[in-house]
Amino acid sequence: MESPLDPAVAARLKRTADGLVPAVAQQYDTGEVLMLGWMDDEALHRTLTTGRCTYWSRSRREYWVKGDTSGHVQHVKSVALDCDGDTILVKVDQVGAACHTGDRTCFDAGELPLS
């Protein structure tokens, strides 16, 4: 299947065996890490062209746009690949909660103890 992405971008991506790349959503102005989702080429293309984060749901096996059902929209401010091309960083302006539990971030369930 041909990628909908710019060939230069598609060539940089290192995908998992199922064609996905982890995408970290970060609040653009505070640096707060909000959540991790998964994108394939189509989800990344939609994110880049619509200004709204689109992810691939591994459990439902379908695309979902953050906020379409909850109203907790992610407005894309910038998108970057890491040095290896195996992780996407999406800086967003998050409206409301990022986590499906209703929390602002998926990473506030408590820190793990260090030894």
86 is in an annotated binding site: yes
- Indicate whether 82 belongs to any domain: yes
Annotated binding residue 84 = yes
Does residue 111 sit within a domain? no
Q: Check whether 6 is labelled as a binding-site residue.
A: no
Whose CA is closest to 57, among 111, 69, 109?
69
Continuous H helices in the chain: 7-12, 41-50
107 occurs within a structural domain: no
What is the DSSP code (8-state) at residue 25? E
Q: What is the pLDDT along the chain (115 residues), one digit of tens a residue?
A: 678 999 999 999 999 999 999 999 999 999 999 999 999 999 999 999 999 999 999 999 999 999 999 999 999 999 999 999 999 999 999 999 999 899 999 998 788 899 8
CATH number of the domain enclosing 90? 3.10.20.810
Is 93 labelled as part of a ligand binding site? no
- Residue 22 is assigned to a structural domain of this protein: yes
52 within a domain of the structure (yes/no):
yes
- Domain of residue 34: give its range: 7-94
- Beta-carbon contacts of 28 under 8 Å, excluding residues fewer than 6 positions away, are 77, 78, 91, 92, 93
Which pLDDT score is estimated for 10? 92
